């Protein structure tokens, strides 16, 4: 066929793209979370399911409204808000009052993301903004945990779950303590195998360290997650707690307990690695991860609270721009070049 008389599209190079795409990355993160989500439902039953559904729904609805207000009606399309919703839900105690879940989702996405201009502009991980808000607003609901694998978990919801807004729900009928608070307030250690496999109480999605790690490894293998951040964070926690434990085995818990308990695995893998709120450079990622690890150890061991992952990550987010400014990549050839002979 003759090529005559065609109009050509112009554009500037590169005319090839790698095929990486924000939507594809986000879908893969969701995929990586699925094992953790399924485990949560198996371990905590309807309570977890209700929490997750309401968490995702409230986040998505908030983003939908905010997107219209911003004039970007397509903003749901990138899928990032579903991740926020899932992560947010996974950090809540299963069976939290649903109005509380919805409120936190609205605050997390509304204040933590939309207020800053949507995708790519949030200085903090929006899921943790919502979670932190609830920690301050409804501390009792946020520290009341049910036991894992309770009988009847597939047939009934904890009574507090369906409580009306601002009613004083009764929590104590279904409460269990997490391994961290057992240790903190009772000096009782949970075994590493129990923690790794998730046979313990805790937030909806933080309990099965192995499945979380599986999801993380999948994303790392697909180059969709920084491996430096979780490695630096977990490494710092591991080394610091091993050192402390060696010094005073009776006062400080062993490293395995510190690593596998609480929200550390979930936080280090899926939340500290939020691309938007973490540094761009490799050196920045190492510093950022190590900083968060150090904060986790500090809060857990010397702080008043049993858990510190959420605050560690939020503080890490806050420090991220500063860290990034410190460690800009050094331009090629800026090192003293080897002299020409």
Q: Which residues bind another protein (CB under 8 A)?
A: 1-4, 6-18, 20-25, 77-78, 80, 118-121, 226, 275-282, 328-335, 337-338, 340-341
Length of the chain counted residue by residue: 341
Supply the minimum distance, in Å, between the C-beta of residue 66 and another protein: 14
- Bridge partners for 176 per DSSP: 145
Residue written as token pair 């790794």? 196
Supply the minimum distance, in Å, between the C-beta of residue 28 and another protein: 11
Supply the minimum distance, in Å, between the C-beta of residue 148 and another protein: 34
Supply the minimum distance, in Å, between the C-beta of residue 231 and another protein: 15
Supply the minimum distance, in Å, between the C-beta of residue 305 and another protein: 30
Q: Which is nearer to another protein, 120 or 139 (CB)?
A: 120
Coil, strand or helix: which one is 85?
A: helix
> What Cα–Cα distance (Å) separates residue 9 from each residue in 6, 15, 18?
10, 11, 20
Supply the minimum distance, in Å, between the C-beta of residue 214 and another protein: 22
Supply the minimum distance, in Å, between the C-beta of residue 7 and another protein: 8
267 and 256 in contact (C-beta within 8 Å)? Answer: no
Q: Which is nearer to another protein, 68 or 325 (CB)?
A: 325
Q: Which residues have a Cβ under 8 Å from the Cβ of 107 and sit 6 or more positions away?
A: 129, 130, 133, 134
Which candidate, 160, 172, 100, 162, places its Cα nearest to that of 131?
100
Q: Which is nearer to another protein, 247 or 340 (CB)?
A: 340
Supply the minimum distance, in Å, between the C-beta of residue 297 and another protein: 26
Cα angle for residues 226, 227, 231 (degrees, 5° grid): 130
Q: Which is nearer to another protein, 29 or 52 (CB)?
A: 29
Q: Which is nearer to another protein, 248 or 331 (CB)?
A: 331
In a 13 Å sphere around the CA of 215, the CA atoms on its Cβ side amount to 28
Q: Extract the tokens encoding 66.
A: 């905010």
Q: Which is nearer to another protein, 4 or 164 (CB)?
A: 4
Q: Extract the tokens encoding 246.
A: 């060696």
Supply the minimum distance, in Å, between the C-beta of residue 250 and another protein: 43
Q: Which is nearer to another protein, 68 or 70 (CB)?
A: 70
Counts of helices then strands in the chain (DSSP H, E): 14, 0
Q: Which is nearer to another protein, 221 or 280 (CB)?
A: 280
Q: What distance in Å separates the CA atoms of residue 48 and residue 145, rounded to the nearest whole number?
A: 11
Q: Which is nearer to another protein, 16 or 302 (CB)?
A: 16
Q: What distance in Å separates the CA atoms of residue 73 and residue 159, rounded to the nearest whole number?
A: 38
Q: Extract the tokens encoding 285.
A: 């990622």
Q: What distance in Å separates the CA atoms of residue 43 and residue 198, rounded to the nearest whole number?
A: 8
In a 13 Å sphere around the CA of 252, the CA atoms on its Cβ side amount to 23
């Amino acid at each position: 066929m003759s090529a005559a008389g065609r109009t050509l599209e112009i554009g500037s190079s590169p005319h090839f793209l790698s095929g990486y795409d924000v939507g594809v990355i986000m879908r893969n993160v969701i995929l990586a979370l699925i094992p953790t989500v399924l485990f949560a439902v198996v371990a905590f039953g309807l309570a977890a399911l209700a929490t997750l559904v309401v968490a995702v729904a409230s986040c998505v609805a908030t983003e939908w409204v905010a997107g219209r207000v911003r004039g970007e009606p397509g903003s749901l399309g990138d899928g990032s808000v579903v991740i926020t919703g899932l992560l947010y839900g996974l950090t809540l105690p299963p069976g939290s009052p649903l109005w509380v879940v919805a409120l936190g989702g609205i605050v997390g996405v509304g204040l933590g993301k939309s207020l800053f201009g949507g995708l790519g502009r949030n200085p903090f991980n929006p899921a943790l903004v919502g979670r932190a808000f609830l920690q301050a607003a409804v501390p009792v609901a946020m520290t009341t945990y049910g036991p894992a694998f309770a009988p009847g978990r597939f047939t009934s919801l904890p009574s507090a779950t369906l409580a009306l807004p601002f009613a004083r729900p009764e929590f104590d009928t279904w409460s269990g303590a997490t391994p961290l608070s057992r240790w903190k307030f009772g000096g009782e250690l949970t075994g590493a195998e129990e923690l790794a496999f998730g046979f313990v109480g805790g937030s909806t999605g933080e309990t099965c360290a192995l499945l979380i790690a599986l999801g993380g490894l999948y994303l790392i293998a697909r180059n969709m997650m920084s491996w430096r951040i979780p490695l630096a964070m977990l490494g710092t926690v591991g080394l610091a707690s091993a050192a402390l434990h060696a010094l005073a085995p009776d006062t400080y818990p062993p490293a395995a307990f510190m690593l596998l308990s609480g929200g550390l695995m979930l936080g280090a893998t899926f939340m500290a690695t939020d691309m938007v709120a973490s540094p761009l450079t490799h050196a920045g990622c190492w510093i950022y991860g190590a900083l968060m690890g150090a904060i986790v150890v500090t809060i857990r061991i010397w702080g008043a609270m049993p858990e510190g992952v959420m605050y560690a990550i939020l503080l890490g987010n806050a420090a991220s721009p500063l860290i990034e400014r410190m460690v800009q990549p050094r331009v090629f050839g800026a090192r003293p070049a080897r002299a020409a002979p």
